[in-house]
Amino acid sequence: MIRCPGQDQRFWKPEDIFEVQCPDCNNKMEFFKDEPKLKCSKCGKIVVNPKIDLGCAEWCQYAEQCLGVSVVKNLRVMRDKLIDEMKKVFVGDEKRIDHTLAVLNYAEQIQAAEGGDPLIVRAAAILHDIGIHEAECKYHSSAGKYQEIEGPPIAREILSKYDLDETIIEHICKIIANHHSAKDIDTLEFRIIWDADWLVNIPAEFAGASREKLKEIIDKTFRTCKGCQIALELFVEN
């Protein structure tokens, strides 16, 4: 039987096999690009592949039978379900929906380059502003600090509908609670959302700024190499 080229190691490149450090004991683990998770041989922690690449799995209807991994469902089905949930909350607010989808697009680009948990990144990007309408109703303001108060409970209610581990839900909610202030989190997934949100917000926040000023802002603000690269290409080099 001919294997799918996306999963056939004959077509792989050297960088498709890489080492990942266990977050609990720092043990080095060797991942293949299509392995969704591995158990650390030293401490037993289950570690998610930060650079998961399932080839055709994002679109192939037989992906789960072929690969036998729940990650396919998490990345494809959960992403679509959370987008639907977001649109229900923002019904009629096309500007907010468009902003969220733009942040999601940048977050996916950055995550593909930087790593991090792909489910957490996608969920946090989709739900990062989910408390904005509630903040406007309660405080007559959409300021970041009020979004950070109102967003996590709404996000938790949405996420609790699905079969997600509590640690994943907590991480997503903590990103939402800090996506403007960055007061008590600095995970890779948070840094990805931070940069993705800034990529969408810079044109409005700094309209008319010179290239020199924009470069200064980007160098000071961005927290991932890929996010900084995208920002420089969009707002300075072009």
Q: What share of the chain is helix, strand, coil (3-state, %, to 5)?
A: 60, 5, 35
pLDDT number for residue 216: 97
Q: What is the mean pLDDT of residues 137-154?
A: 86
37/80 same-domain check: no
77 with 63, same domain: the answer is no
Q: Reduce the DSSP state of residue 21 to 3 states and report it.
A: strand
Report the domain count for the chain.
2
pLDDT at 62 over 70: no
Q: What does the pLDDT read at residue 13?
A: 75
Q: Which whole-number Å values give the CA distances from 132 to 81, 100, 107, in the listed order?
A: 20, 12, 20
**Quick one: pLDDT band at residue 1, thresholds 50, 70, 90?**
very low
Please compute the mean of the pLDDT values over residues 207-225 and round it to a whole number: 95
**CA 117-118-124 angle, 5° bins:** 90
Which CATH number covers residue 186? 1.10.3210.10
Identify whether residues 65 and 78 lie together within a single domain. no
Burial of 15 (0-12, 13-18, 19+ CB in 10 A): exposed
Clarify whether residues 36 and 146 are in a common domain. no
Last residue of a domain, one of 11, 41, 69: 69
The pLDDT, as a whole number, for residue 65 is 53
- CB count in 10 Å sphere of residue 163: 9
The range of the structural domain enclosing residue 56 comes to: 1-69
One domain, residues 94 and 44: no
234, pLDDT greater than 70 = yes
Tokens 């989808």 label which residue?
101
pLDDT digit string, tens, across residues 89-144: 999 999 999 999 999 999 999 998 898 888 899 999 999 999 999 988 888 776 77
Encode pLDDT of 167-187 as tens digits: 999 999 999 999 999 998 999
**Which of 69, 91, 106 delimits the end of a domain?**
69
161 and 178 in a single domain? The answer is yes
CB-based contacts of 90, cutoff 8 Å, min separation 6: 96, 97, 100, 133
Nearest to 108 by CA among 231, 226, 232, 236: 226
pLDDT digits (tens, 9 = 90+) for 68-89: 444 545 577 888 999 999 999 9
* pLDDT above 60: residue 36: yes
CA angle 159, 191, 166 (to 5 degrees): 25
What's the whole-number mean pLDDT along residues 191-197?
97
Structure tokens at 224: 């991932």
Give yes or no for residue 194 having a pLDDT over 50.
yes
Pair (38, 93) in one structural domain: no
Question: Looking at residue 22, what is its pLDDT?
Answer: 83
User: For residues 224 and 194, what is the distance between their CA atoms, to the nearest angstrom?
Assistant: 9
Rounded to whole angstroms, the Cα distance separating 188 from 121 reads 9
58, 80: one domain: no
**Under 8 Å between Cβ of 119 and 133:** no
35 and 75 part of one domain:
no
| pLDDT at position 19 over 90 | no
Do both 62 and 82 map to the same domain? no
Domain shared by 109 and 119, yes or no: yes
Query: Please, which pLDDT band fits residue 53 given cuts at 50, 70 and 90?
Result: low
Predicted local distance difference test score (pLDDT) of residue 233: 95
Cα(149)–Cα(227) distance, integer angstroms: 26
CB atoms within 10 A of CB 80: 11
Q: Is 18 helix (H, G, I), strand (E, B) or coil?
A: strand
Q: Are residues 110 and 56 in the same domain?
A: no
Q: Which of 51, 69, 87 is the last residue of a domain?
A: 69
pLDDT at residue number 69: 47
